[in-house]
């Protein structure tokens, strides 16, 4: 399929062939008919991308500070590579579209193949086929102009601003900023019986509002504008002001303070600063409110990604219901949308549309992209051209395919594999990501069909790099297909899936490798050489994990499994590896938190050889403290590993070794895995140890839940 993408490094924009998106649970596939360019949000994104590095840094100072902090901990070269990878990726543009449903997943019942729907959110990009969650879709009435329906997401932004104003029949409202959202806001206010007054700095936008029937529309710098509003409101001032402008000036917020009556409301929809002059807001006791995008549900992964709706009795208007209300108003003929659509471009001419928006060479309001719905979408497999280096196939080497390729895979796994394996197939949730990874690393093809990867005889090794909840499913699929498997931790989120994987592994001949990279860190390997496995050791680990917000997907028990399963598993496995013995007992205690995230825990492990380990996995500490600190005590010797950068051995003499940069073993781990396949040897981590460390991780949760020691 075709999709509009942009290179954030140099601003290059092009329509390229990419695989279709892969629909996950609760999603539908939509064949796009029209999408809408957001002149404000997308315009800024494109403008920033076309700037030089210095201007990029000036416009994104928060990100620059994050890069500086990362450079301090990871080094300049690794930080540079990470930033360049982000900038060079093929970024998707767009967030509002409409089209016809061509596929629904088994758990979707309210929407059917053939329905016309309006779509919103990051997945509603400028592309021929979209995969969108059901709570980000609304049905379009038959007979509705599809061009008008495509505006539903942007219209819901305007509608939410009106709802936040809580205005009633007969009240007056001033709208500051008469771009597309402002024009739609005026129409919604009029539809519910409000006297509507528009203000903008652009005389053409003012004239457009008047053509739509809003005679009380004024230029923002008109002399006596405050008096004019007072006259129109019987001398009391407006009941509310809705600011839909986008500017760095305080002018709109201060003007709103002047125009409002006592106890009036000011609602901010657009991107404006809020450091207003106190006088009017204080004397009139004005109510300043923010309006969050499309409405309730926005930025809530439970709502947008998992499709869990809010009960209508408690949340009357969600983002989906706002979209549907707009479409209902369209069907009822209550809105005058046609004058707002000023431009329409074919998808292939999208760059011209953005050039026009950024240069302001023409007056514009709603700018649409039109799709050729009669064009047959090509094969789901997009074949790439491999680099010369990748064409030098190894006779018995690793022929790798990737399922998933997010930030971790792109920054840590793929760069360390590019000299070791032949890349064959790539499949990710987003087609533009698949295409970018394919082009950068020379994969033979990118596809939306994971079944093709699993059945491809040219693939002998599958790397599973998806979110945690899908690991077990893809591991089982790869094992059943007879492929060797590398899966990033955790292996699974559920004990029953662990048993199913163990059974499948025992019945087959494939290798299974879990991404426990710290085993392969240089300092850890040195510790293993210092002590025999039968020597009892006392091990202490302090992990300053850092805070993740409660809404982060890792905390979701159904998606990320929580931080114990998602990350603490690393250190349970590492403790077992250093101890050189099987885990026989697990006891854990959590430090309570208001959000009940179970992300600050103390874990005690007992081992068959008499060793013991204490893992302090804490999320409530300072970011300035190094993340990982490990101590090993054995037969009069103490070893300290400080954040995988420095190791100090306290024996007869004190010895210190320091690496040039932090090394957690990723490169060595991958090299060992590739070599075991090439040499026909077992996987570097025995499956019995993978099984036991995973089982011990589940035992941590059981110990916390039942307040007891768990014996394995």
pLDDT digits (tens, 9 = 90+) for 64-102: 777 676 666 666 777 777 777 777 888 899 999 999 999
Task: Judge whether residue 249 has pLDDT over 90.
Answer: yes
Residue 1: both structure tokens together:
């399929």
Mean of pLDDT values over 260-266: 97
* Predicted pLDDT of residue 395: 44
Q: Please, are residues 267 and 164 in contact by the beta-carbon 8 Å criterion?
A: yes
Q: What 3-state class would DSSP assign to 112?
A: coil
262 within a domain of the structure (yes/no)? yes
Q: Are 550 and 564 part of one and the same domain?
A: yes
* Predicted pLDDT of residue 393: 47
377 within a domain of the structure (yes/no)? no
DSSP annotation of 199 reads E
Distance CA 555, CA 544 (A): 17
Tell me which of 329, 349, 370 is where a domain ends. Answer: 370
Q: Are 72 and 22 part of one and the same domain?
A: yes
Residue 465: both structure tokens together:
């790099």
Q: Are 188 and 122 part of one and the same domain?
A: no
295 within a domain of the structure (yes/no)? no
Share of the chain above pLDDT 70, in %: 95
Q: Are 456 and 497 part of one and the same domain?
A: yes
191 within a domain of the structure (yes/no)? yes
375 within a domain of the structure (yes/no)? no
Which helix H or strand E contains 451, and what residues bound it?
helix 450-455
621 within a domain of the structure (yes/no)? yes
Residue 48 CB neighbours (<10 A): 15
Q: Are 24 and 68 part of one and the same domain?
A: yes
For the domain that residue 697 is a member of, what is the CATH number? 3.30.360.10
Number of folded domains that form the chain: 4
Mean residue pLDDT of the chain comes to: 92
Tell me which of 370, 398, 430 is where a domain ends. Answer: 370
Identify the CA nearest to 164 among candidates 310, 290, 315, 299: 290
**Comparing 20-34, 61-75, 440-454, 677-691, which segment has the lowest mean pLDDT?**
61-75
Q: Are 10 and 101 part of one and the same domain?
A: yes
Q: Are 310 and 458 part of one and the same domain?
A: no
Mean of pLDDT values over 222-237: 94
**Comparing 69-73, 320-324, 462-466, 555-559, which segment has the lowest mean pLDDT?**
69-73
For the domain that residue 267 is a member of, what is the CATH number? 3.40.50.720
376 within a domain of the structure (yes/no)? no
Q: Are 662 and 701 part of one and the same domain?
A: yes
Count of residues making up the chain: 712
* Predicted pLDDT of residue 276: 85
Non-local (6+) Cβ contacts of 632 within 8 A are 527, 531, 537, 538, 539, 578, 638, 639, 641
* Predicted pLDDT of residue 7: 87
Mean of pLDDT values over 253-269: 96
Distance CA 273, CA 269 (A): 11
Q: Are 349 and 386 part of one and the same domain?
A: no
Mean of pLDDT values over 633-637: 96
Q: What 3-state class would DSSP assign to 241?
A: strand
pTM reported for the whole predicted model: 0.89
Q: Are 358 and 454 part of one and the same domain?
A: no
Identify the CA nearest to 690 among candidates 547, 487, 534: 487
Q: How far is CA 693 from CA 274, 309, 564, 571, 578, in A?
A: 52, 37, 12, 9, 13
Range of the domain at 481: 382-514
Distance CA 126, CA 424 (A): 28
Tell me which of 514, 531, 555 is where a domain ends. Answer: 514
Mean of pLDDT values over 647-664: 94
pLDDT higher at 75 or 322? 322
508 within a domain of the structure (yes/no)? yes
Distance CA 526, CA 649 (A): 11
Alpha helices in 175-237 (DSSP H): 180-191, 203-211, 225-232
**Comparing 13-17, 323-327, 334-338, 499-503, which segment has the lowest mean pLDDT?**
13-17
The per-residue pLDDT for range 360-391, each reduced to its tens digit, is 999 999 999 999 988 887 655 667 544 334 44
Task: Judge whether residue 650 has pLDDT over 80.
Answer: yes
Task: Judge whether residue 338 has pLDDT over 80.
Answer: yes
Q: What 3-state class would DSSP assign to 712?
A: coil
Q: Are 17 and 114 part of one and the same domain?
A: yes
Rounded to a whole number of angstroms, the CA Rg of the chain reads 29
Per-residue 3-state assignment (H helix, E strand, C coil) for 386-418: CCHHHHCCCCCCCEEEEECCCHHHHHHHHHHHC
The per-residue pLDDT for range 56-70, each reduced to its tens digit, is 666 667 777 776 766
The per-residue pLDDT for range 133-145, each reduced to its tens digit, is 999 999 999 999 9
Q: Are 630 and 653 part of one and the same domain?
A: yes
For the domain that residue 326 is a member of, what is the CATH number? 3.90.180.10
Task: Judge whether residue 606 has pLDDT over 80.
Answer: yes
The per-residue pLDDT for range 464-497, each reduced to its tens digit, is 999 999 999 999 999 999 999 999 999 999 999 9
């Amino acid at each position: 399929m075709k999709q509009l993408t942009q290179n954030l490094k140099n601003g290059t924009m092009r329509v390229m062939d990419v695989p279709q998106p892969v629909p996950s649970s609760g999603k539908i596939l939509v064949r796009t008919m029209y999408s809408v360019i957001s002149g404000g949000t997308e315009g800024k994104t494109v403008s920033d991308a076309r700037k030089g590095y210095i201007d990029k840094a000036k416009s994104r100072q928060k990100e620059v500070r994050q890069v500086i902090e990362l450079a301090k901990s990871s080094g300049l070269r690794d930080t540079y590579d990470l930033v360049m990878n982000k900038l060079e990726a093929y970024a998707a543009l767009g967030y509002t579209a409409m089209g016809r449903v061509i596929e629904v997943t088994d758990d979707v019942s309210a929407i059917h193949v053939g329905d016309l729907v309006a779509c919103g959110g990051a997945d509603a990009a400028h592309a021929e086929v979209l995969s969108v969650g059901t709570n980000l879709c609304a049905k379009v009435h038959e007979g509705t102009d599809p061009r008008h329906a495509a505006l539903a997401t942007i219209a819901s932004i305007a509608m939410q601003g009106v709802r936040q104003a809580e205005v009633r029949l007969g009240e007056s409202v001033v709208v500051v900023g008469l771009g597309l959202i402002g024009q739609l806001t005026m129409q919604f206010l009029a539809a519910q019986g409000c006297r509507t007054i528009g203000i903008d700095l652009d005389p053409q936008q003012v004239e457009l509002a008047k053509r739509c029937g809003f005679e009380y529309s004024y230029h923002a710098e008109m002399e006596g504008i405050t008096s004019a509003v007072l006259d129109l409101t019987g001398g009391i001032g407006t009941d509310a002001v809705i600011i839909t402008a986008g500017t760095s000036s305080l002018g709109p917020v201060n003007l709103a303070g002047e125009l409002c009556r006592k106890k009036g409301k000011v609602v901010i929809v657009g991107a404006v600063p809020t450091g207003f002059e106190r006088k009017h807001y204080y004397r009139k006791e004005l109510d300043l409110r923010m309006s969050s995008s499309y409405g309730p549900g926005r930025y809530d992964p439970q709502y947008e990604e998992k499709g869990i709706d809010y009960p209508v009795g408690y949340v009357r208007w969600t983002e989906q219901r706002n979209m549907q209300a707009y479409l209902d108003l369209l069907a009822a003929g209550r809105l005058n949308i046609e004058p707002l659509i000023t431009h329409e471009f074919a998808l292939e001419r999208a760059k011209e549309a953005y050039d026009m928006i950024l240069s302001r060479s023409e007056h514009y309001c709603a700018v649409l992209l039109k799709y050729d719905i009669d064009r047959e979408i090509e094969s789901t497999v997009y074949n790439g051209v491999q680099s010369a280096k990748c064409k030098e196939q190894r006779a018995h080497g690793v022929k790798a395919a990737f399922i998933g390729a997010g930030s971790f895979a792109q920054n840590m796994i793929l760069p360390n594999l590019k000299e070791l394996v032949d890349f064959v197939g790539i499949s990710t949730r987003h087609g533009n990501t698949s295409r970018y990874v394919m082009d950068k690393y020379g994969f033979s093809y990118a596809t939306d069909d994971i079944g093709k990867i699993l059945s491809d005889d040219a693939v002998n090794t599958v790397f599973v790099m998806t979110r945690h909840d899908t690991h077990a499913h893809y591991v089982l699929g790869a094992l059943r297909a007879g492929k060797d498997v590398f899966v990033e931790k955790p292996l699974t989120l559920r004990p029953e899936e662990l048993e199913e994987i163990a059974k499948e592994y025992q019945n087959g001949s494939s290798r299974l490798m879990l991404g426990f990279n710290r085993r392969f860190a240089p300092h850890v390997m040195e510790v293993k050489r210092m002590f025999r496995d039968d020597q009892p050791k006392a091990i202490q680990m302090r992990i300053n994990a850092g805070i993740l917000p409660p809404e982060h997907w890792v905390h979701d028990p159904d998606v990320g499994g929580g931080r114990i399963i998602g990350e603490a598993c690393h250190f349970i496995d590492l403790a077992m590896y250093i101890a050189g013995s099987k885990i026989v007992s697990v006891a854990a205690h959590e430090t309570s938190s208001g959000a009940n995230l179970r992300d600050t825990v103390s874990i005690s492990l007992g081992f068959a050889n008499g060793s013991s380990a204490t893992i302090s996995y804490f999320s409530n500490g300072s970011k300035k403290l190094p993340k990982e600190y490990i101590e090993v005590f054995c037969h009069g010797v103490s070893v300290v590993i400080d954040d995988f950068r420095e190791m100090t051995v306290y024996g007869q003499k004190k010895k210190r070794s320091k690496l040039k940069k932090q090394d957690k073993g990723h490169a060595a781990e991958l090299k060992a895995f590739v070599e075991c396949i090439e040499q026909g040897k077992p996987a570097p981590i025995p499956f019995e140890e993978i099984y036991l460390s995973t089982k011990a991780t589940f035992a941590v949760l059981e110990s916390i839940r039942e307040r007891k020691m768990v014996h394995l």
